[in-house]
Structure 1
């Protein structure tokens, strides 16, 4: 199994510190803490592809986890919590890319408001997670909340149709 994700160096907080304080840790539901522990390193690796400055990538991942914490009960009750959490991360990253690059800098995959753009964004995400971050198909399925067969199929599709753009 290949997993070359960047190790987590801390939990981070919006004030720039890298650790949650004791009150935040004690208030965090156990399920959320476990989910965060599992997904934080891979989310951080994904963000590092878009934001090369480690502190900026960590801050964006922290922003996504704080947004996730705000809707955790709803996410946990959803049919696919991992997919819902991935969408929160992807939206947070896309918003920060748009903020950084401005409206002219956005590509179709960063504007998932039409079905074909959502598909292009997912293909791009899967390619990043597999070819750049180095995750195996089952790990990608776990991170984005899908099944391995679908991920393998989408990766083949993305490779056939978009490899020239890479």
Structure 2
């Protein structure tokens, strides 16, 4: 390896490390919410980071590098869920409501995006599981991880307007599933 190649490699490593530092909280929070186990979440994030590093030169040329990494993370989280099933681990009990559901509910109510309702957390969890993947991601990123619309748009390779629209659609569906009529839009 000549000096020029070494310098390019060092720059790639610096940009990769900065990129991972920027997205670490989002990736870890998402993986923990989906996997429910901090160790499994850490493992999925590390595997995703390894894959992102392997593809880093290509990812840097993409229009939306954060989306490319997000896609890889979601694949690794899905693979971790599949490994659990293949190892004979039982899926979470339908009666078990992850703590993140309570956090999503509290944040959505605080923001005025979801009115308080008599529905319990289990009903909200069932409603969240019924959302499309994109709507589910937007709700998690916005209300659990507290990302801004700009950060979510970057992560999902879309516009802020699309994030707001997707969030509104998701909250309308959640409100309907929880029996809330005529949710006020903000």
TM-score, length of structure 1 as denominator length: 0.67
Q: Distance in 2 between matches of 1:61 and 1:134?
A: 19
Using CA pairs below 8 Å that are at least 6 residues apart, which structure has the higher relative contact order? 1
Aligned residue number for residue 128 of structure 1: 140
Q: RMSD value over aligned CA atoms?
A: 2.4
* Counterpart check, 1:158 vs 2:170: yes
Q: Which protein is bigger by CA-based radius of gyration?
A: 2
Structure 1 gap segments, 5+ residues each: 1-25, 106-118
Q: Does residue 40 of the first structure (1) align with residue 24 of the second (2)?
A: yes
Task: After TM superposition, list the pairs within 5 Å mapping 1:137-156 onto structure 2.
Answer: 137-156=149-168
The reply to whether residue 100 of structure 1 matches residue 102 of structure 2 is no
Matching residue of 1:14? none
Runs (4+) of structure 1 moved beyond 6 Å?
none
Secondary structure at 2:171 match in 1? helix
Matched, 1:52 2:42: no
TM-score, with structure 2 as normaliser: 0.60
SS at match of 1:134: coil
Quickly say closer, same or farther: Cα 1:48–1:95, change in 2 above 3 A: same
Residue 92 of structure 2 is aligned to residue 80 of structure 1: no
Which deviates the most, 145-154 or 134-143? 134-143
Aligned pairs, how many? 126
Structure 2 gaps of 5+ residues are: 1-9, 92-130, 179-186
1:60-108 CA distance string (max 9 Å, x none): 1011110111111111111211111111111111121222245x96xxx
Task: Report which stretch shifted further, 27-36 or 122-131.
Answer: 27-36
